[in-house]
Amino acid sequence: MTQKSPLLVASVAAAGLGMVMYDNTAITVALPAIRDAFHTDTSSLQWMLNGLSLMTGSMLPFSGALGDRFGPKRTFRAGILLFAAAALMGSFSTSIGMLIGFRVLQGFGGALLLPNSTALLNANVTPETRNHTVGLWISISATGLIVGPLGGGLLISHFGWRAALYGHTVIALFGAWRIGKLDDGPRRENSLDFPGIFTASATALALCAGLIQFGRRHANYPLATTLIVLGLLLGYLFYRIEHRVEHPLVDPSWLTDVRTRGVLLACAIYNGTIAASTFLISVLSQDSRHLSPLQGGIVVWMSCILMPVGSRISGRIKNVPDLRKIMLLGSIALSVGYVIIAALSQGPFLLMLATLSIAGFCAGLLFSGDTIAILNILEPAKASSGLATLSLVRQIGAVFGIALIGSASELFGRATSIDNGKSLAIALAGVATLSCYFLLKKALTATVHD
């Protein structure tokens, strides 16, 4: 392997992750404008966000296998170009259905680039420069969290929501060009758990569709109930399949081990509550306070600005007892923070922004902490599959969070008012996040004793 500049390697890998971060935050700011442009409802916005996450989560195992077979360099380049092309095509959508379709296509591109950016990084750095390069990668990628809400908000304010999807092309072309300077990773053949992938994806789709249907203003309750029952049956089928196949998508022993089960469940819950709360806060701040997209972008930016700081703090922890303290503090502070944000959602604006930034810091603690926890729990030979499962859990958690808490906001809104419904749903997210404290306490206490 030829020695590569850590800055070059990090900047190419960050073109992928940073573009996804930019997209997530810019689109979140654009949600009210998209809703008004297409005269649609909250359920359509939920599908617009969940379509991308469902596709990304479903395709992550295929993406890893494609990277193994064709090399992470080629797979990453295909993913970053597809993600940007789908975003650009989405900007020309003439209906919400068309836009959702292009978001699903973006999800496939995201699945191709996310795991292969890590593989590409590992193939181009030495053990001595790995930590430095990873730090640069995360720091450069995090600019997407800053540029997304502010740059996206500015573009939307002046040119409309479609402009938020234009910037992807420049980032993708940079990444596709500079990747030529990097070495490819090793190629190998891997087995795929096709029955597990299919049933896991079908489970998530059925449950997500059922939950969103329940929240619609003119809900078809028999259909919603049928979808949820179908999702539960498919989930049980997935569980049975994973016990029978030779190379399972999720190792069944992790579901019975109190340590891995606790971390993965907590990860699913707080990824769901964070995604749902960010979605609701963006819409609520622009609706109830009559903020412009740029001002709404500042609100989302405040919820992201301290995430990298929290991640860096967790990333420097060397032992499990300290990690346990940090993650427990982060989970309970995030829970309380969302309850306070719900109470302040129509109160003092600056106080709400300050609480949002603290909640973002706590989210950063958890996002980095769960990765370290999984690496500490699993033996080295299972680290790669453990991190792949963690990525899958994050995506599925976000899907369920947006579906469940977003629908709860609609139900609460019909009982009170639209704005109060969103505030109550954010409070519900805070209460749900509290369960992560108990899950992590049990899981990480067992890890300490081991």
pLDDT surpassing 60 at residue 394? yes
What pLDDT, in 10s, does the model give residues 53-70?
Answer: 888 877 877 777 777 778
Query: Exposure string (b/e) for 290-311, b if CB count within 10 Å is 16 or more?
Result: ebebbbbbbbbbbbbbbbbebb
Counting residues of the chain whose pLDDT is more than 70, the rounded percentage is: 95
For 291, residues 6+ apart whose C-beta sits below 8 A from its C-beta are: 285, 299
Q: In CATH terms, are 1-189 and 251-450 the same topology?
A: yes
Q: How far apart are CA 217 and CA 206, in angstroms?
A: 19
Q: How far apart are CA 365 and CA 32, in angstroms?
A: 29
For 139, residues 6+ apart whose C-beta sits below 8 A from its C-beta are: 308
Give the CATH number of domain 1-189; options: 1.20.1250.20, 3.30.70.3040, 3.40.50.620, 3.30.40.230: 1.20.1250.20
What pLDDT, in 10s, does the model give residues 306-334?
Answer: 988 888 788 777 777 888 999 999 999 99
- Across the range 169-176, mean pLDDT stands at 90
Query: Can you state the angle between helices 293-304 and 143-159, rounded to 10 degrees?
Result: 170
Query: Can you state the angle between helices 258-288 and 383-415, rounded to 10 degrees?
Result: 40
Q: pLDDT higher for 328 or 128?
A: 328
pLDDT surpassing 60 at residue 449? no
pLDDT surpassing 70 at residue 189? no
So where are the chain's domains?
1-189, 193-246, 251-450
What pLDDT, in 10s, does the model give residues 219-266?
Answer: 788 988 999 999 999 989 988 998 888 778 777 888 788 889 999 999
For 317, residues 6+ apart whose C-beta sits below 8 A from its C-beta are: 323, 326, 369, 372
Predicted local distance difference test score (pLDDT) of residue 50: 84
- Across the range 396-400, mean pLDDT stands at 88
| Domain boundaries 251-450, corresponding CATH code | 1.20.1250.20
Predicted local distance difference test score (pLDDT) of residue 1: 54
Q: pLDDT higher for 366 or 316?
A: 366
Predicted local distance difference test score (pLDDT) of residue 191: 67
Residue carrying structure tokens 């016990």: 243
Structure pTM?
0.85
State how far the alpha carbon of 423 is from the alpha carbons of 25, 266, 300, 397, 411, in Å: 20, 23, 16, 21, 12
Could you tell me if 88 and 169 are in contact, meaning their C-beta atoms sit under 8 angstroms apart?
Answer: yes
Give 405's pLDDT tier (boundaries 50, 70, 90): very high
Query: Can you state the angle between helices 293-304 and 258-288, rounded to 10 degrees?
Result: 160
Could you tell me if 303 and 356 are in contact, meaning their C-beta atoms sit under 8 angstroms apart?
Answer: yes
Give 361's pLDDT tier (boundaries 50, 70, 90): very high
Predicted local distance difference test score (pLDDT) of residue 131: 63
Per-residue three-class SS string for the chain: CCCCCHHHHHHHHHHHHHHHHHHHHHHHHHHHHHHHHHCCCHHHHHHHHHHHHHHHHHHHHHHHHHHHHHCHHHHHHHHHHHHHHHHHHHCCCCCHHHHHHHHHHHHHHHHHHHHHHHHHHHHCCCCCCHHHHHHHHHHHHCHHHHHHHHHHHHHHHHHCHHHHHCCHHHHHHHHHHHHHHCCCCCCCCCCCCHHHHHHHHHHHHHHHHHHHHHHCCCCCHHHHHHHHHHHHHHHHHHHHHHCCCCCCCCCHHHHHCHHHHHHHHHHHHHHHHHHHHHHHHHHHHHHHCCCCHHHHHHHHHHHHCCHHHHHHHHHCCCCHHHHHHHHHHHHHHHHHHHHHHHHHCCCCHHHHHHHHHHHHHHHHHHHHHHHHHHHHHCCHHHHHHHHHHHHHHHHHHHHHHHHHHHHHHHHHHHHCCHHHHHHHHHHHHHHHHHHHHHHHHHHHHHHHHC
Residue carrying structure tokens 């969290």: 145
Residue carrying structure tokens 């409070």: 427
pLDDT surpassing 80 at residue 71? yes
Counting residues of the chain whose pLDDT is more than 90, the rounded percentage is: 35
Give 180's pLDDT tier (boundaries 50, 70, 90): confident
Predicted local distance difference test score (pLDDT) of residue 396: 86
Poorest-confidence range of 3-7, 19-23, 209-213, 270-274? 3-7
Q: How far apart are CA 143 and CA 61, in angstroms?
A: 27
